[in-house]
C-alpha cells in the first residue's frame, strides 16, 4: 500500500503554525523551542530517535540537537533554526544531515546556524527582547543553554547586550493550538486509526489458545510496518485473562488460555500521529455467557458515549451517562447492590472502573490541551479524543465467581465535527457476533 502521499505535511503547514504562534506573542519578544536528543539504551546503543512533539509541530524537522528561535520586534517577525552542521564522516556512519546551508529553504526559515554556535549567537539574537518564551523542564539540555545565554547577556551589558527581563512559558499557547487539528492532521490521524484497526483485526484472526501474548503483539507490529507505520505509538498492552485487570500491563509474556479473554490496547504511530485502539475478545473465538454479559455492558456504555460526544458536550457530562449504564449493568450482574444514583454518589464503581472516559489524541497518544476542571471543557470542532470505558473484575474482588478475572475495555478514536463526530477507528470490529464470525473464519 503506497502511503507516501500522506506521510509528510507540506512545509506551508509548519510555517502557518509559526505565524499563528507569533501572532499571540507580545511585541519585542522571542520564543525558543528545543528538539529532543538521542537517548542511550545501553552501552553504545541508542533508542530509535523520536522528535519532540512541540518541536516537530513547528518545524517538521526530524533531527536531534536542534532549536527553533522566533523573534517578534516592532510587528516584524524572524525565524532561525540551530542544527547540526554537515559532517561527511559522521554522515557515512550515522546517516544524512540536513546541514546549515540547506536549512533555510528546506524548513522555510529566515536564518540557520550551527548548533555549535548557539552559545555565542543566542545572547546576541535575544538582546533587545523584553520577554522570552521558553518551556522549562521539557528539554533539559535546552534549559542549560537558555540559562547560560541569559547569564552571558547580563554579564556583557557594557558590550551592548541585555537579557530579556521577563520569562514566559509557551506551553499554554501551543497546547491550545495543538488541541485543534487541521485538515492535514485529521488525514494523518485517520490513517493512523485505519492501520491500527487493521492490526487489531489481524490479532483477532491470529489468536488461539496456547499462543503467547507477545506473539499477538508481534502480529500487530507486523501490520503496522506493512502499512508504513514503523513504530507503535506507545507500549502495547496484550493482556490475557486477569492481566486485563492491570490497566498498564505491558509484560506481554504470558500464555493465552482457552476460555479466557484477551485485551489488546495498541496503536501505531503514522507520520508522527498516534492511533489508540482497545479491543477485547475471547482467545478461543467464543464469548462465554459471563464474558458476553460484561462485554455488553461496556459496549453499550461506549456506543452511548460516542452518541453524546458532540460539539457543546463535555467529557464530564458524557461520563456521567456512562456511569449510569455501567452501574445499572453491575447491579443486573449482581456485582453491585443498591440504587444507581446513590452508588454513583458513593463511587462504588471505582474498584471496577477507575480511569477516565477518554483523552485528547494527536502527536502524543495522551495529547496536550486543557480539559477544564473535572474535564468539563466544552467540546468543539477539530478536537480528537479517545472513548474508552472499561470494567475490570479482579479475582480478588468479592463478586460472583463467573465474573472474576474478566477485564474488558473498548476504545475508539473520534473527531468532533460540525455534524457531531466521526469515528476514525471503525474498521476495528467490536460487535460480539462480528468478532466471533471473524475469529471462526480466521
CATH number of the domain within which 292 lies: 3.90.230.10
Active site (annotated) includes residue 359: yes
Q: Note the pLDDT of residue 438.
A: 97
- Among 44, 76, 183, 373, the active-site one is 44
Whose cell is 523573534? That residue is 71
> Is the domain of 223 the same as that of 256?
yes
Q: Note the pLDDT of residue 190.
A: 97
In order of 116, 147, 265, 430, the CA distances from 223 in angstroms are 41, 45, 15, 19
The order of strands in the sheet holding 268-270 is 231-232, 268-270, 273-274
> Is the domain of 142 the same as that of 211?
no
Give the domain extent around 118: 11-170
Q: Note the pLDDT of residue 284.
A: 98
> Is the domain of 39 the same as that of 64?
yes
**Which residues, listed in sequence order, are joined to residue 42 by a DSSP beta bridge?**
45
Active site (annotated) includes residue 248: yes
- Among 248, 292, 320, 395, the active-site one is 248
Instruction: Give the end of a domain, one of 170, 190, 215.
Output: 170
Longest CA span, the chain: 81
Active site (annotated) includes residue 234: no
* Cα–Cα dist 262/175, whole Å: 35
Active site (annotated) includes residue 370: no
- Among 178, 409, 412, 436, the active-site one is 409
Q: Note the pLDDT of residue 269.
A: 98
β-strands 131-133, 76-83: how paired?
unpaired
> Is the domain of 196 the same as that of 328?
yes
Residue 56 in any domain: the answer is yes
- Among 265, 367, 412, 436, the active-site one is 265
Q: Note the pLDDT of residue 7.
A: 62
> Is the domain of 335 the same as that of 409?
yes
Active site (annotated) includes residue 200: no
Q: Note the pLDDT of residue 389.
A: 98
- Among 234, 260, 359, 403, the active-site one is 359
Residue 4 in any domain: the answer is no
**Which residues, listed in sequence order, are joined to residue 313 by a DSSP beta bridge?**
none
> Is the domain of 117 the same as that of 160?
yes
Active site (annotated) includes residue 185: no
Question: Angle 118-126/140-155 helices, nearest 10 degrees?
Answer: 60
- Among 185, 260, 367, 411, the active-site one is 411
C-alpha cell at 229: 507505520
> Is the domain of 211 the same as that of 162?
no
Active site (annotated) includes residue 411: yes
Instruction: Give the end of a domain, one of 134, 152, 170.
Output: 170
Residue 409 in any domain: the answer is yes
> Is the domain of 219 the same as that of 80?
no
Tell me which DSSP letter residue 115 carries. Answer: G
Residue 2 in any domain: the answer is no
Active site (annotated) includes residue 211: no
Residue 3 in any domain: the answer is no
Using DSSP, state whether 94 is helix, strand or coil.
helix
- Among 140, 355, 370, 395, the active-site one is 355
Residue 5 in any domain: the answer is no
- Among 147, 222, 366, 370, the active-site one is 366
Active site (annotated) includes residue 355: yes
Q: Note the pLDDT of residue 75.
A: 86
> Is the domain of 186 the same as that of 324?
yes
- Among 213, 217, 388, 412, the active-site one is 388
> Is the domain of 390 the same as that of 277?
yes
Q: Note the pLDDT of residue 8.
A: 75
Residues of the chain with pLDDT under 50: 1-5
Instruction: Give the end of a domain, one of 170, 197, 222.
Output: 170
> Is the domain of 192 the same as that of 122?
no
* Cα–Cα dist 72/19, whole Å: 10
Residue 175 in any domain: the answer is no
Give, in degrees to the nearest 5, the angle at Cα 362 between 361 and 363: 135
Residue 241 in any domain: the answer is yes
What CATH number does residue 156 fall under? 3.40.350.10
b vs e for 294-304, b when ≥16 Cβ sit within 10 Å of the residue's Cβ? bbebbbbbbbb
> Is the domain of 165 the same as that of 193?
no
The count of domains in the chain is: 2
Active site (annotated) includes residue 44: yes
HSE at residue 424, side-chain half, CA atoms within 13 A, is 30
Q: Note the pLDDT of residue 341.
A: 98
Amino acid at each position: 500500500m503506497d502511503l507516501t502521499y500522506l506521510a509528510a505535511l507540506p512545509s506551508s503547514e509548519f510555517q502557518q503554525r509559526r505565524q499563528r504562534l507569533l501572532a499571540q506573542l507580545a511585541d519585542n519578544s522571542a520564543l525558543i523551542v528545543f528538539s529532543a536528543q538521542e537517548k542511550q539504551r545501553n552501552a553504545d546503543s541508542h533508542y530509535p530517535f523520536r522528535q519532540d512533539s512541540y518541536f516537530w509541530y513547528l518545524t517538521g524537522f526530524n533531527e536531534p540537537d536542534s532549536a527553533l528561535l522566533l523573534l517578534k520586534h516592532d510587528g516584524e517577525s524572524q525565524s532561525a533554526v540551530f542544527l547540526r552542521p554537515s559532517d561527511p564522516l559522521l554522515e557515512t556512519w550515522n546517516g544524512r544531515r540536513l546541514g546549515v546551508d540547506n536549512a533555510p529553504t528546506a524548513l522555510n526559515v529566515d536564518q540557520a546556524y550551527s548548533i555549535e554556535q548557539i552559545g555565542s549567537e543566542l545572547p546576541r539574537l535575544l538582546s533587545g527582547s523584553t520577554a522570552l518564551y521558553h518551556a522549562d523542564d521539557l528539554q533539559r539540555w535546552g534549559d542549560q543553554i537558555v540559562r547560560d545565554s541569559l547569564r552571558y547577556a547580563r554579564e556583557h551589558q557594557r558590550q551592548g547586550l541585555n537579557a530579556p527581563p521577563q520569562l514566559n512559558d509557551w506551553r499554554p499557547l501551543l497546547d491550545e493550538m495543538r488541541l485543534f487539528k487541521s485538515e492535514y492532521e485529521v488525514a494523518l490521524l485517520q490513517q493512523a486509526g485505519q492501520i491500527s484497526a487493521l492490526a487489531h483485526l489481524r490479532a483477532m484472526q491470529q489468536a488461539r489458545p496456547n499462543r503467547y501474548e507477545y506473539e499477538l503483539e508481534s502480529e500487530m507490529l507486523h501490520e503496522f510496518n506493512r502499512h508504513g507505520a514503523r513504530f507503535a505509538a506507545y507500549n502495547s498492552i496484550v493482556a490475557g485473562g486477569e492481566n486485563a485487570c492491570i490497566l498498564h500491563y505491558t509484560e506481554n509474556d504470558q500464555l493465552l488460555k482457552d476460555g479466557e479473554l484477551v485485551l489488546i490496547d495498541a496503536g501505531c504511530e503514522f507520520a508522527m500521529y498516534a492511533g489508540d485502539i482497545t479491543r477485547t475478545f475471547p482467545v478461543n473465538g467464543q464469548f462465554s455467557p459471563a464474558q458476553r454479559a460484561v462485554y455488553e455492558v461496556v459496549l453499550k456504555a461506549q456506543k452511548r458515549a460516542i452518541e453524546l460526544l458532540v460539539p457543546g458536550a463535555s467529557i464530564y457530562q458524557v461520563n456521567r451517562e456512562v456511569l449510569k449504564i455501567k452501574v445499572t449493568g453491575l447491579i443486573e450482574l449482581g456485582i453491585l447492590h443498591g440504587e444507581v444514583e446513590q452508588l454513583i454518589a458513593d463511587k462504588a464503581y471505582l474498584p471496577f472502573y477507575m480511569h477516565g472516559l477518554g483523552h485528547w489524541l494527536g502527536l502524543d497518544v495522551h495529547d496536550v490541551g486543557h480539559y477544564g476542571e473535572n474535564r468539563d471543557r466544552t467540546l468543539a470542532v477539530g478536537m480528537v479524543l479517545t472513548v474508552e470505558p472499561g470494567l475490570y473484575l479482579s479475582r480478588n474482588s468479592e463478586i460472583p465467581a463467573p465474573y472474576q478475572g474478566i477485564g474488558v475495555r473498548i476504545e475508539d478514536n473520534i473527531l468532533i465535527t460540525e455534524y457531531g463526530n466521526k469515528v476514525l477507528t471503525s474498521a476495528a470490529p467490536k460487535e460480539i457476533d462480528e468478532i466471533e464470525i471473524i475469529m471462526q473464519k480466521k
